[in-house]
């Protein structure tokens, strides 16, 4: 699910790109290469030819559960009742919350914003109604897709805009039985929908064709909704074809059998989605059962609840003594083929533990003695998943079970509190009150501790626990203080985005400084502030903040990426390479990092390595104009002028021939390929653009144009 979108913080701003390209143009685009005669060619004038390649990853053989049901109908039938099967579903597959039938309006806390949620015929519709200086604006979306949980937590809605998938602002919170508001930037002039990232889709679909290089463009022709048979058994096409040809062969062929995998392979199988494997090392949907997960994904290193994305049960389970001293796996407690059965999960403990092995058993009432899960795997607030409601802010609908099986004194107390509270006799009520006070103080202390550590979201979770046991004005005041601090951070982040969007970066600096007085451990604020300090020439302060990013968040590559860019711009290609290497280790398969890595290799005249790096970037995004531009430079130096022209022409078409640096690179490619006339013409176009956008490039172009015109004069004699 799209819970945290950090791409805004990751992008290098336009001023930095322009500066780097200008320096690159001045220092690297001047080549003393021989001229070869070549028949003149004209650039493509077809306005529909924008150079874009649409590369859709091919279905590797997924066939869908309906095909599996040809031979495994009973198994597929029972599996269809699981939450995995309903990881992604369509409204027509139902059921939808009854609140849609009632219709209604959700009034946002943001002024002038409200939403309607309703059913119109067979369609379910969300509408944004927004008041602005020019009047009322309405954006309506049909709900096409749902990520659900069977009513146990949040139900998030999506709409297709052409072939792009977007998450809608309003969700249904099952436990609270109310609408919840996703986090959006109220200052954004857009419609508040969010792109649905590829990694999100990987964990909610068995297969869908992704358009390479895009954040959220897909081909739905052969999409398989939900997490179905083949996510654990592998693509079934070869298996199906074999057994259709050999119907009497009962030995499974060409299919993975998870029970035959090693323990670590089984854990990796679940870890596709039930771990913090948030960054792919290649195209999506490549992982196959039995493969090492780390070969396909980078596992996040963050070690607190705030850095958990949606779920990381595998990490916590592996930290348990139960796991370390046994052969247990996820399927010891969970049957992936059947709906979750709480009673069977509880009985799983008895596979390894005799009741008498609990040293505390004799101290517990009979009604608590066999409740292993409540004491050793307590529920907690999943603070990474949060919504605003009409009544409150930062509401956590999900209360999953802790998967680090251990001893939790507060959980033991809560189990006893529930036991005594459920009995009317005065001794039980008295004991329940005593325990309630202990739990309230425990969670108040947790709230104070977490707030002192600036872990605001976890602090809100702790104060919500304290409120459960002590719903007094004082507890609510402390909860509201934590909420207000987080709300101020979020409002200031939105204001930072707005200042940058309207071209006032200096206004963002004091906002970021204020954020860091509230939450000094916020890595992305350090990253953005470092970039802005660099933009105003305060380089030492810039470096200080950028170096702090990975200290506070080891899964955030922004600081390293910017430090690499700054090293490249000042001409230190060796240092730049090291920064980009480290950034790539955190965020692999990222086109921006690999593109800049290629530029640093060019600056060191390591032409072949630069060519390989740009080609790798283009495997990630076939339409990345900057990498095509860099690849053209590398091809020129490697003595491949026609390949240089091909790459440069595509870069020019992708940028609509509106970027001076790209056009200048194309002119140089034409010249090296011996196409002097069109080289001069293209260089004149580049010079005109540079007058407006890249004045530092003009002297370089003028000097080379003079040289080329002299050459043309010599050739005409």
Q: What is the pLDDT of residues 85-115, one digit of tens each?
A: 999 999 998 889 989 988 889 999 999 999 9
Residue 10's pLDDT band (cuts 50, 70, 90): very low
Average per-residue pLDDT for the chain: 90
Higher-pLDDT residue of 32, 565: 565
Residue 95: what pLDDT? 87
Question: What integer is the mean pLDDT of 235-258?
Answer: 96
- Mean pLDDT computed over 194-219: 95
Cα 626 to Cα 78, 648, 670, distances in angstroms:
51, 10, 18
Question: Of the ranges 341-350, 486-495, 522-531, 661-670, which one carries the lowest mean pLDDT score?
Answer: 341-350
pTM equals 0.89
Predicted confidence band of residue 717 (pLDDT cuts 50, 70, 90): low
pLDDT the model gives residue 150: 67
Residue 673, burial from CB neighbour count under 10 angstroms (0-12, 13-18, 19+): buried
Predicted local confidence at residue 82, as pLDDT: 92
Least confident interval from 136-145, 300-309, 414-423, 503-512? 300-309
CA distances from 216 to 300, 458, 594 (A): 22, 30, 20
The yes-or-no verdict on residue 702 having pLDDT over 70 is yes
3-state helix, strand, coil in the chain (%, to 5): 50, 10, 35
Alpha-helix runs per DSSP H in 329-399: 342-348, 366-369, 372-376
Confidence of residue 12 (pLDDT cuts 50, 70, 90): very low
Q: Of the candidates 182, 255, 205, 213, which has an alpha carbon nearest to the alpha carbon of residue 86? A: 205
Q: Give tens-digit pLDDT for 258-278.
A: 999 999 999 999 999 999 899
Annotate 572-590 with b (16+ C-beta within 10 A) or e (fewer): bbebbbebbebbbebbbbb
Instruction: Please give the Cα distance from 225 to 236 (Å, whole number).
Output: 15
- pLDDT tier, 345 (very low <50, low <70, confident <90, very high otherwise): confident
pLDDT at 233: 97
Nearest to 489 by CA among 446, 454, 449: 454
Q: How many helices (H) and strands (E) would you count in the chain?
A: 30, 14
Give 211's DSSP letter.
Answer: B
Q: State the DSSP H helix or E strand holding residue 664, giving kind and residue range, or none if neither.
A: helix 660-672
Q: Which residue ranges form the domains of the chain, and what is each CATH number? A: 15-55+556-716 (1.25.40.10), 65-255 (no CATH), 341-485 (no CATH)
> What are the pLDDT digits (tens) for 501-555?
999 999 999 999 999 999 999 999 999 999 999 999 999 999 999 999 999 999 9
Residue scoring higher pLDDT (153 or 121): 121
pLDDT of residue 48: 53
Neighbours of 351 (CB within 10 A): 10
* Average pLDDT estimate for 668-685: 96
pLDDT higher than threshold 90 for residue 714: no
Q: How many CB atoms lie within 10 A of CB 640?
A: 17
Give SS3 for 122: coil
Read off the pLDDT of residues 404-463 as tens digits, 9 standing for 90 and up.
999 999 999 999 999 999 999 999 999 999 999 999 999 999 999 999 999 999 999 999
With a pLDDT cut of 70, the percent of the chain lying above it is 93
pLDDT at 36: 27
């Amino acid at each position: 699910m799209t819970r945290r979108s950090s791409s805004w913080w990751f992008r290098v701003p336009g001023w930095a790109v322009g500066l780097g390209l200008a320096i690159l143009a001045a220092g690297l685009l001047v080549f003393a290469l021989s001229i070869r005669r070549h028949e003149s060619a004209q650039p493509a004038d077809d306005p529909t030819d924008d150079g874009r390649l649409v590369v859709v990853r091919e279905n590797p053989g997924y066939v869908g559960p309906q095909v599996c049901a040809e031979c495994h109908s009973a198994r597929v039938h029972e599996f269809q009742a699981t939450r995995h099967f309903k990881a992604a579903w369509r409204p027509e597959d139902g059921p939808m919350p009854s609140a849609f039938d009632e219709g209604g309006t959700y009034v946002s806390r943001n002024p002038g914003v409200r939403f309607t949620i309703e059913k119109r015929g067979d369609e379910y519709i969300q509408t944004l109604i927004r008041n602005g200086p020019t009047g009322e604006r309405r954006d309506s979306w049909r709900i096409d897709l749902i990520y659900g949980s069977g009513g146990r937590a949040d139900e998030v809605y999506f709409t297709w805009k052409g072939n792009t998938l977007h998450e809608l602002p309003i969700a249904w919170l099952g436990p609270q039985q109310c609408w919840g508001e996703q986090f959006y930037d109220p200052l954004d002039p857009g419609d508040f929908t969010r792109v649905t990232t590829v990694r999100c889709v990987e964990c909610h679909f068995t297969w869908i064709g992704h358009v390479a290089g895009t954040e959220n463009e897909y081909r739905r022709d052969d999409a398989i909704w939900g997490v179905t048979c083949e996510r654990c058994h592998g693509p079934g096409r070869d298996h199906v074809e074999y057994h259709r040809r050999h119907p009497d062969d009962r030995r499974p062929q060409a299919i993975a059998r998870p029970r035959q995998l090693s323990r670590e392979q089984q854990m990796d199988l679940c870890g596709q989605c039930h771990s913090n494997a948030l960054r792919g090392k290649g195209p999506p949907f490549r992982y196959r059962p039995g493969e090492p997960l780390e070969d396909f994904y980078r596992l996040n290193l963050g070690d607190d609840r705030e850095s958990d994305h949606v779920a990381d049960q595998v990490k916590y389970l592996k930290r348990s003594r139960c796991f370390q001293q046994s052969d247990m796996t996820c399927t010891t407690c969970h049957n992936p083929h059947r709906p979750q059965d709480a009673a069977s999960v509880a009985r799983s403990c008895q596979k390894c533990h005799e009741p008498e092995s609990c040293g505390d058993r004799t101290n517990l009432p009979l009604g608590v003695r066999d409740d292993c899960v409540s004491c050793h795997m307590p529920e907690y607030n999943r603070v990474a998943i949060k919504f605003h409601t009409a009544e409150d802010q930062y509401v956590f609908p999900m209360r999953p079970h802790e998967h680090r099986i251990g001893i939790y004194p507060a959980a033991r107390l809560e189990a006893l509190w529930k036991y005594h509270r459920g009995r009317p006799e005065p001794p039980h009520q008295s004991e329940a009150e005593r325990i309630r006070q202990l739990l309230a103080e425990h969670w108040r202390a947790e709230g104070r501790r977490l707030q002192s550590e600036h872990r605001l979201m976890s602090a809100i979770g702790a104060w919500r626990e304290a409120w459960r046991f002590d719903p007094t004005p004082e507890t609510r005041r402390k909860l509201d203080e934590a909420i207000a601090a987080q709300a101020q951070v979020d409002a200031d982040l939105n204001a930072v985005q707005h200042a940058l969007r309207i071209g006032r970066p200096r206004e963002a600096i004091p906002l970021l400084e204020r954020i860091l007085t509230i939450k000094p451990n916020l890595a992305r604020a350090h990253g953005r502030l470092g970039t802005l300090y660099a933009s105003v020439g305060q380089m030492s302060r810039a470096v200080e903040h950028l170096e702090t990013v990975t200290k506070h968040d080891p899964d955030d590559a922004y600081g390293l990426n910017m430090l690499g860019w700054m090293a490249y711009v000042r001409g230190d290609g060796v240092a730049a390479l090291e920064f980009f290497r480290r950034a790539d280790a955190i965020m692999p398969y990222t086109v921006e990092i690999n593109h800049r890595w290629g530029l640093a290799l060019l600056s060191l005249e390591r032409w072949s390595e630069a060519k390989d790096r740009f080609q790798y970037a283009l495997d990630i995004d076939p339409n990345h104009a900057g990498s095509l531009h860099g690849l053209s430079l590398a091809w020129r130096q490697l003595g491949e002028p026609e390949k240089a022209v091909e790459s440069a022409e595509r870069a020019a078409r992708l940028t609509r021939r509106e970027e001076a640096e790209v056009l200048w690179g194309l002119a140089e490619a034409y010249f090296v390929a011996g196409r002097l006339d069109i080289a001069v013409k293209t260089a004149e176009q580049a010079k005109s653009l540079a007058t407006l956008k890249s004045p530092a490039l003009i002297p370089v172009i003028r000097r080379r144009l003079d040289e080329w015109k002299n050459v043309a004069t010599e050739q005409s004699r």
